[in-house]
Every structure is written in structure tokens, then in C-alpha cells.
Amino acid sequence: MANRAVATEQAIELQIPARAEFVALVRLVVSSLASARRILADDRVDDLKLAVSEACTNAIEAHGAASLDDRIVVRCWESDDRLEVSVEDRGEGFDPQSLPQHPPVTDPQRLNFERGLGIPLIRTLVDEVEFITADEGTSVTLTMYCGRLSDQ
């Protein structure tokens, strides 16, 4: 993890109030960063933007309405072969392995599930995702490899 430690020193950090109206700002910052440095192809920037948005949405929902002063920390750092974005909250954690399974889309019961699509989307959109859940909050780290490692 030595490389990550070096890269983290040069991370860009954004703190937002744990409120829904700030997710658009995070999307703007992360997608601008990824586009400006030309690290990722445009469609990969869109994937990252959506994944980051989902992670921030989960973080805000973890805080709930009672803690409007809480903050969510978004960190971005890049190295030669990757761009990483972490989203940290101070809300109650969850177990990403124990999410309820949706019925298949062909099942009429599927329409009873309006939520729970965020984590599957994140898993599909980014090359790697790591969830760290502790008593003091959850951290989600999203990794995009510049060389489309996942496709090789």
C-alpha cells in the first residue's frame, strides 16, 4: 500500500454537507478532474460520475435527516495507471454482501423494488470497489484503471 500512501498525499479533497443538493457538485468536480487530465475516455468518465453519485447518495442516506451538519469527504487521487475516488461518511454502516436480492426483471414482483440498484450499478461501472465499514462510518473506494484493465 506504499504507492497509495504517496498518491494520497497528493489527493484532492472535497467536503460536502451530507445533503442531497450537494451530490451534483461532487459529480461536477470528479468528472471535470477526470476529463481535464484526460486520464479516462469519455464513456469511462460517465461511468465514474454515475458510480460516485451512487456512493454519495448512499453516504447521505446513511446519515439520515437528523444529522444535517455532518459532512461527507470525497478524495480523488491518481497515479500512472489509475484514478481512485473515495467517499467517506460517518453514518451507520451496512453490509454490502447482505443486500436483498431483487427478483428477476421478468417477475412482476420486480416492480415492488424501487431501491437497492445503487450498489449493483457501482460494481458494474468501476473496475474495482472496496467497502470498508466500521462503527464510525463507511468508506467506499472506487478505482478506474486507465488501461481498461477489466477488459483485458
Partner 1 sequence: MELGLDVTEKNGYAVLAVRGEVDVYTAPRLRERLVELVSQGKHQIVVDLEGVDFLDSTGLGVLVGGLKRLRSHDGDLALVCTQHRILKVFEITGLTKVFSIHESVDAAVGE
Binding footprint of partner 1 on the chain (CB under 8 A): 20-21, 23-24, 27, 43, 46, 49-50, 53-54, 57, 60-61, 104-106, 110-115, 117-118, 120-121, 124-125
Q: From the CB of 8, what's the least distance to partner 1, in Å?
A: 27
Q: From the CB of 49, what's the least distance to partner 1, in Å?
A: 7
Query: Nearer Cβ to partner 1, position 98 or 112?
Result: 112
Q: From the CB of 88, what's the least distance to partner 1, in Å?
A: 18
Query: Nearer Cβ to partner 1, position 21 or 135?
Result: 21
Q: From the CB of 90, what's the least distance to partner 1, in Å?
A: 18
C-alpha dihedral, 127 to 93 to 13 to 60, nearest 10°: 100
Contact 12, 78 (CB under 8 A): no
Query: Nearer Cβ to partner 1, position 4 or 110?
Result: 110
Query: Nearer Cβ to partner 1, position 118 or 137?
Result: 118
Give the list of residues 6+ apart from residue 106 with CB closer than 8 angstroms, or none: none
Contact 80, 52 (CB under 8 A): no
Q: From the CB of 29, what's the least distance to partner 1, in Å?
A: 14
Find cell 447518495 and name the residue: 57
Given its phi and psi angles, is residue 38 left (phi above 0), alpha (psi -120 to 50 degrees) or beta? left
The Cα 40–Cα 145 span in angstroms is 8
The Cα 52–Cα 110 span in angstroms is 25
Query: Nearer Cβ to partner 1, position 25 or 149?
Result: 25
